[in-house]
Homo-oligomer: A and B are copies of this chain.
Amino acid sequence: MLKRERLDLIMKMVTEQNFIAVSDLAKTMNVSEMTIRRDLDELSKAGKVIRLHGGVQALSLQMKTEQNFHEKREIHIAEKKEIAAIAASLVEDNETIYVGPGTTLEFMVARLDQENLRIVTNSLPVFETARKNPHNYQLILVGGSYRRISGTFYGALANDELDSMNYDKAFVGVNGISDAELLTADIEEGQTQSIGLNNAQKKVVVADMYKFNHRDFYQFYSLYDIDELVTNKQASPDVLEYYRQYTSIRTGIDS
């Protein structure tokens, strides 16, 4: 039985039964539990499954349909889910986090599994996704003027409100990264996000490989001031090597 077959079978069994124990999987496939654990790590990091003590759980139906919905209109879903899984793992119990707008960050809040989080966001889609997370986290939506295209709140009101709080960690997405510049399409949204970053102890940027060496209109932050850049493991080693001069980069493979 090939590894690929095994992964497929695991996915099939998990989606059918919702919960499965590592021991069951090992028995039905005739491999050691260690192997299953490694498989599950891989599936979990790819954002396809939720790892539990003793076994796995399928993504909730809500999350799945939500993801299918996104899949229809969004690109690079696999990469984004992978990045979302890593970003979600950076959060710790009892933290207050700012989460900016973006599909990747929607996937991230869907996957959060820590205890007692307080989530602050100015993105309506992120807020809606967080609301469906089985953990009933405390949610704070930063209000203000509403931009229909992106579903975000911006402007003086939003900025003041965001600025009145402090965060353990901030997670933001970008449209492009070019040298030390983080770029986005909209001035006001960029400014709002930079406030979220400023008020956070630890500043995290999520960006799939396609964002590197890609420019956009407005430069809203410097990569030098970012603590952690999360991207997917398919990013070219040369690119990663180059950007490591600016900040610490985290991908799927290494720690």
Q: Residues on A close to B: CB < 8 A?
A: 1-5, 18-19, 21, 46-48, 52-55, 57, 115-116, 122, 127, 131, 135-136, 138-146, 148, 153, 157-158, 160-161, 164
Contact = CB atoms under 8 A, between A and B. Distances in A.
Contacts of A116: 46
B136 A146 contact: no
> What's the number of copies of this chain in the assembled complex?
2
A2 B55 contact: yes
Contacts of A158: 143
Given A131-B148, A144-B143, A47 B2 contact: no
A175 B137 CA distance: 28
A144 B157 CA distance: 11
14 contacts: A2-B52, A3-B53, A3-B54, A4-B19, A4-B57, A46-B136, A122-B143, A127-B146, A139-B145, A140-B157, A141-B141, A141-B144, A142-B143, A157-B164
B136 A140 contact: no
A4 B145 contact: no
B164 A148 contact: no
Nearest to A164: B157
Most chain B beta-carbon contacts within 10 A, residue among A47, A55, A127, A146: A146
